[in-house]
Amino acid sequence: MNLEIKFRKERITLGIIISLLLLTFSVYFILKPEIFIRNVFMKILHIQILGIIGIVLFSALFFSILKLYSRRYALYITEEFIIDNSRYESLGKIEWQNISKIERIKKKSIEIFVNESVFKNRKLNLIKKFLMFMGNWNYKKSIIISSALLDCSIEELYENITKSYKNYKKTTHKNGLAQ
């Protein structure tokens, strides 16, 4: 079973527009902070610090969403591995043998627990590390796949991933007993 799950391009476009809008607000936080003062406790310095944080965060977010636009597929599921391209900071090809557990979390996400060796073998740049940390505080032990940008529901996604994972476990268990 080979399954390709594609992106919803209209959601990626919406993400690009929203990240640019938030980036613009962050620039205004730095250039015109007095517009945003609403009470005695907010100081110009506080607003400018928020602007700097916003510029860093939303620039990374814009760059990561923009990179998704050119990808052919978000996920590719086979009987031997899964290729995760659903985010800029995704790890790519992960073999089923390196996965220990799959759980559904929140309303639109799946958490896949992987061996630490998977992360050691990948070279990640600073933006990828930052985005991994921002999206998953347990990023050295698991990855999170969200259905927000995918062209399928979370139920379909979870079913397809767990089905392939269980099939892999069955075939390796049978092969292990036969030897």
What is the reported pTM? 0.76
CA distance 49 to 105: 33
- Structural domain total, the chain: 2
Q: Are residues 117 and 139 in the same domain?
A: yes
Q: Are residues 52 and 16 in the same domain?
A: yes
| Residue indicated by tokens 């209209």 | 10
25 falls within a domain? yes
Q: Strand 75-77 to strand 109-114: parallel, antiparallel, or no bridges (unpaired)? A: unpaired
pLDDT in tens, the chain (179 residues): 788 999 999 999 999 999 999 999 999 999 998 888 877 667 889 889 999 999 999 998 899 899 888 888 999 998 889 998 888 888 888 898 988 889 898 888 898 888 887 777 777 778 877 877 777 767 678 888 888 888 888 899 899 889 998 888 888 766 655 44
Q: Are residues 15 and 48 in the same domain?
A: yes
8 A C-beta contact, residue 77 and residue 160: yes
74 falls within a domain? no
Q: Are residues 11 and 49 in the same domain?
A: yes
Q: Are residues 173 and 130 in the same domain?
A: yes
Last-in-domain residue among 18, 46, 68: 68
Last-in-domain residue among 47, 68, 89: 68
Range of the domain at 92: 79-178
8 A C-beta contact, residue 135 and residue 106: no
